[in-house]
Structure 1
């Protein structure tokens, strides 16, 4: 079965245009191409594809709070499923973790196919697979999570009421610490190296700065293996 899946992966890679694999680099995020194919669906869509000879559940689009429940429904309605293919720009971090746990409970392999991109919360949904493929030409894209996206709003809050701003920052810090703990626990349970967090994710800029505007990092094929993000080929 694994040999058949590898053959499918190779066939898919051959079908992807060279431009989709060897894309021009992004000047702001130089480890990534300018264009990342992570789907424009505002809510993750689930569909079944049998063109590869397997029953593949394609999960495409943003992760919102409803994704875990809708994933359960899609798996039940379309059983049996052989593999899950994912492309997403991310979304709710905790929904990504919950979706990953559902995939692990179902013991379904996950794949980021050639030409597709999996970013942010999508990383954790993908890592739920006990067998994980990041195909040649696929992009596994990480960043440092943040609950603060608008620095001007924080400055404005501080200007109006220093005590309110301090309380808001305290809440953000507490929730960030909890999320970091949850992420560590998740990686341990999924068999992914926690160094993915400490060596890569947590070293990225949380918010674009004046000197360094890079906020995302595309892992190399070697790094996906090093950190056990991809554990099959």
Structure 2
């Protein structure tokens, strides 16, 4: 009888242990990028998928996946077809930097259109600039706005080809990358000013991150802003 009576108590104990284990897994931090979760919740869609849904009595557009070169045009078309969308909710690992800037400008061209990073979702890299197009902009507690040092090319094939052609071709590619990176930095700076975000986000945070993992003790390549930092730099506004 004693064993039978103890089963409910044991079941409750096991449920509590499981809940604690689940909570711990959900909040595990990345040892290489200690300000960020180990597994950010960004979509694996190879191109950003735009889905219009009703959420909480309002019409929103879910924007999930990689920021690709065709996004600005698709986004403009989708918003014109759905003029009653009030917010865009973002979940993305980034992608094409210039397409991110262009998509942000598309969003800003629709007055009053807000952007949101919902709790548990992550917006990284080029997604940052899509998000900045919103007015207002909201990062919910538990939402992740993740920044890093931008580079102008992710074209691995071009790098491999230049290396195969020899030192002259590689040197030329490096020069092109450096020149284009400087131009992109200027474009980013102008974009932030236009969107009402402090340019110190670039100088004090983004450009202080390493583009590739270093060999020293600090191997981090990305940074998750705290809500206080996001408010400080004008990235977001206080949640209603």
User: Does the pair score TM above 0.5?
Assistant: yes
Conserved? CA contact 1:143–1:205, under 8 Å: yes
Superposed CA offset, 1:18-40 (max 9, x none): 94996111001000011101111
- Structural mapping, 1:130-141, within 5 Å: 130-141=135-146
Structure 1 unaligned spans of 5+: 1-17
Match for residue 36 of structure 2? Answer: 32
Could you tell me how far 1:167 is from its partner in structure 2?
Answer: 1.2
- The range that moved more, 57-66 or 76-85, is 76-85
1:231 alignment counterpart: 237
1:71 aligns with 2:47: no
Match of 2:121 among 116, 119, 125: 116
- Give the Å deviation of 1:54: 0.5
Q: Please give the alpha-carbon distance, in whole angstroms, between the structure 2 residues aligned to 1:137 and 1:195.
A: 23
Deviation, 1:157, is: 4.9
The reply on whether 1:93 has 2:74 as its aligned counterpart is no
Once residues 91 and 100 of structure 2 are traced to their aligned partners in structure 1, the CA distance between those partners, rounded to angstroms, is 12
Write the distance in 1 (CA, Å) between the matches of 2:65 and 2:214: 28
Query: Is 1:26–1:33's contact at 8 Å kept on the other side of the alignment?
Result: yes
Residue deviations 1:24-62 (CA, integer Å, cap 9, x gap) = 110010000111011111111111121311111111110
**Displacement of 1:160:** 5.6
Aligned equivalent of 1:174, options 175, 179, 194: 179
3-state SS, counterpart of residue 93 of structure 2: coil
Separation (CA, whole Å) in 2 of partners of 1:77 and 1:201 = 35
SS for the counterpart of 1:55 is strand
TM-score by length of 1: 0.86
Q: Secondary structure at the match of 2:175?
A: helix
Does structure 1 conserve the Cα–Cα contact (< 8 Å) formed by 2:35 and 2:223? yes
- Distance in 2, matches of 1:21 and 1:186, equals 37
Q: Does the CA-based 8 Å contact 1:132-1:232 persist in structure 2? A: no
Larger Rg: 2
> Could you tell me how far apart the structure 2 residues matched to 1:158 and 1:45 are?
35
Q: Deviations over 1:200-219 (max 9, x none)?
A: 00000101122232111000
In 2, distance between residues paired with 1:171 and 1:159?
A: 17
Decide whether the 8 Å contact of 2:152 with 2:184 is kept in 1.
no
Equivalent residue for 2:205, pick from 190, 200, 205: 200
Q: Helix, strand or coil: the match of 2:146?
A: strand
Tell me the TM-score normalized by structure 2: 0.83
Quote the RMSD (CA, aligned, Å).
Answer: 2.3
Number of matched residues? 215
Unaligned runs of 5+ in 2: 1-21
Aligned equivalents of 1:109 and 1:156: distance in 2? 42
